[in-house]
Amino acid sequence: MPVAPFYFPVRRPMELDLHVHTRFSRDSRNDPGQMVETALRRGLAGIAVCDHDAFRGVEAVRNAAPPGFLVVPGMEISTRFGHLLGLFLREPVRTKDPFEAVAAIHAQGGLAILAHPFARQGSVDPAFAARLDGCEGFNARYNRASRRRESDSPPKALAFAREHGLAVTGGSDAHFLWEIGRGRTVLDGARDLEDVKRAIRERRTTCRAIRTSSILNRVYSGVVRLARPKRRMPAD
């Protein structure tokens, strides 16, 4: 069933979930149309599609989105330094080398965001950090939400962002519909994707933690991954 047109007021702060997976990630079951419907119900102005080393979900979500709903084309790239989000991409990034991945993202005019920093690694290579545009200040799968707004970002992530002059973003890392919107990026009203990109470049974003996803969601993702065919998921 088509989703009705949706127009988010331009001059008020808006919230986007800048880390969401579709069924094109092997460990996710999210249907693109249901993702858009869920995001709209939860008051989101848009989402970033960031499938694991895959890009096909972007077009599927775009086709399901009504006018006015922002779909950021992205990808979650597996590198030896951990996961890296490429936002505002035009095509998939195929390298696993972290420095080459950042260069490939920037060559497309995209932004390189470190996903869930310090969740899986204790430190970040300084030379790599210097090439980033931002880092996730809150990831609902890896960070604990607090009732205190100033604690929405883990102190270590905030300190890292400040030290390296990085933007801070928030995302749910949703692999299932019920997770969408649990982590959010907050910015002043944007008319289009270029406005969103500019806000991140200029470090005019904050993150908002709605709630932490139970570790059981990550366990369920593992089960889903095992149940899916082991063939390589196409990148585009």
| DSSP for residue 192 | S
Q: In the chain, what are the domains? A: 14-227 (3.20.20.140)
Tell me the two tokens of residue 45: 């102005």
Q: Please give the full DSSP string across 170-226, using - where no structure is assigned.
A: EE--BSSGGGTTSEEEEES--SSHHHHHHHHHTT--EEEE--PPPHHHHHHHHHHHH
Report the distance separating Cα 83 and Cα 78, nearest Å: 5
One digit per residue, the tens of pLDDT, for the chain of length 236 reads 455 554 444 456 899 999 999 999 999 999 999 999 999 999 999 999 999 999 999 999 999 999 999 999 999 999 999 899 999 999 999 999 999 999 999 999 999 999 998 776 667 899 999 999 999 999 999 876 654 443 445 678 888 999 999 999 999 999 999 999 999 999 987 889 999 999 999 999 999 999 888 888 878 787 878 888 765 544 45
| DSSP for residue 148 | S
Query: Pairing mode, if any, of strands 206-209 and 183-187?
Result: antiparallel
pTM over cut 0.85: yes
| DSSP for residue 165 | T
